Amino acid sequence: MLGPNRYGKAETRLVRVHRDGDSHGLVDFNVSVALSGDLTATHLTGDNSGVLPTDTMKNTVYAFAKEHGVGEPETFALLLARHFVSSQPQVHAAKVSVESFVWDRLGPHSFRKRGDHVRTTVVHVSSETVQVVSGVTGLVLLNSTDSEFHGFVEDGYTTLKPATDRILATAVDARWRHTGDDTDWAASHAGAMDALVKAFVGTYSYSLQQTLYAMGARVIEDRPEIAEVRLALPNKHHYLADLSPFGLDNPGEVFIAGDRPYGLIEGSVSRDDAPAATAEWWL
Ligand SMILES: O=c1[nH]c(=O)c2[nH]c(=O)[nH]c2[nH]1
């Protein structure tokens, strides 16, 4: 029996220049489309009469970028998702994901790509429901103190020493689900980012788990349009270098930046009255 299925064009790379006079605007997106609906025939018999080619989806991304311009990623994703659901009767739901790469302006037509985090958007549209999820990935943060970790379980395999002053560092992977589908997306994203960063900076931490909850709670407190936040926080361990063989003291100054393995702390924080999600949206 054929199970759940969907199909689409993944990772269409779109760069849109808005030539408004001498000062140009630049938008740099990676757009993925996934459609689901009445697609049994193509799987079971190869009857493609209900299959909109993924090549057409890619073309639609570029044509819409020209015809409608490209503003906020949420707006562009909603436009595309609604188009596929409303124009193709056999398509019952569309998921459009956008990775948005930020370029800082250097001049009227010159830009420098920001190397760190990527803004993300995933919208799900069906004939009855709309769900908008915004987020960020690869936002690297570090506190060089105000972090402790002790009081943990110790069994026969535990070697970790309690820490009363350590580096706490992570690369934030966060998604947040909006209550509605009509918000000032730019202001909302900037506000959520600000809340995440301020909570990381301002929390005296006894575990990355505690910091995770503080970050999610701060977003929920600051942003009424957001129903739920999901966070995946790798614990980017920094190990104190042992300099005693060289007769050197090392009171929290020289560290070895660890790579793998890393702790991975994941969790969700939601508003008490958050409406239920209408589509799956795990990280
Ligand atoms: O903040 C932390 N949480 C943990 O669960 C954990 N486990 C560990 O070894 N180090 C840490 N640090």
Reported ipTM: the value is 0.98
Number of residues in the chain: 283
Is the pLDDT at 14 greater than 90, yes or no? Answer: yes
What rounded mean pLDDT belongs to the chain? 97
Contact 15, 81 (CB under 8 A): no
Closest ligand 1 atom, CA of 205? 1
Q: What is the structure's pLDDT at 92?
A: 98
Rounded CA-CA distance 283/280 in Å is 10
Rounded CA-CA distance 235/246 in Å is 29
- Distance from Cα 237 to the centre of ligand 1, integer Å: 9
Strands 226-235 and 118-126 turn out to be unpaired
Give per-residue pLDDT as tens, 142-168: 999 999 999 999 999 999 999 999 999
Is 237 catalytic? The answer is yes
Average pLDDT on 175-184 reads: 98
Average pLDDT on 256-271 reads: 97
Contact 130, 78 (CB under 8 A): yes
Rounded CA-CA distance 123/134 in Å is 8
Q: What is the structure's pLDDT at 282?
A: 83
- Return the residue matching tokens 């209550």: 179
Q: What is the structure's pLDDT at 50?
A: 97
Q: What is the structure's pLDDT at 202?
A: 98
Q: What is the structure's pLDDT at 115?
A: 83
Q: What is the structure's pLDDT at 116?
A: 85
Lowest-confidence pick of 7-11, 19-23, 229-233: 19-23
Average pLDDT on 197-211 reads: 98
SS (H, E, C) the chain: CCCCCCECCCCEEEEEEEEECCEEEEEEEEEEEEEEECCHHHHHCCCCCCCCCHHHHHHHHHHHHHHHCCCCHHHHHHHHHHHHHHHCCCEEEEEEEEEEECEEEEECCEEEECCCCEEEEEEEEECCCEEEEEEEEEEEEEECCCECECCCCCCCCCCCCCECCCCEEEEEEEEEEECCCCCCHHHHHHHHHHHHHHHHHHCCECCHHHHHHHHHHHHHHHCCCEEEEEEEEEECCEEECCCHHHCCCCCCCCEEECCCCCEEEEEEEECCCCCCCCCCCCC
Average pLDDT on 202-212 reads: 98
Residue nearest to atom 4 of ligand 1 (CA): 207
Closest ligand 1 atom, CA of 208? 1
Is the pLDDT at 244 greater than 80, yes or no? Answer: yes
- Distance from Cα 153 to the centre of ligand 1, integer Å: 11
Is 40 catalytic? The answer is no
Catalytic residue among 83, 95, 189, 237: 237
- Distance from Cα 69 to the centre of ligand 1, integer Å: 46
Catalytic residue among 9, 58, 95, 236: 9
Whole-model pTM over 0.90: yes
Give per-residue pLDDT as tens, 49-108: 999 999 999 999 999 999 999 999 999 999 999 999 999 999 999 999 999 999 999 999
- Distance from Cα 208 to the centre of ligand 1, integer Å: 7
Residues with CB under 6 A from ligand 1: 149, 160, 207-209, 235, 263
Is 198 catalytic? The answer is no
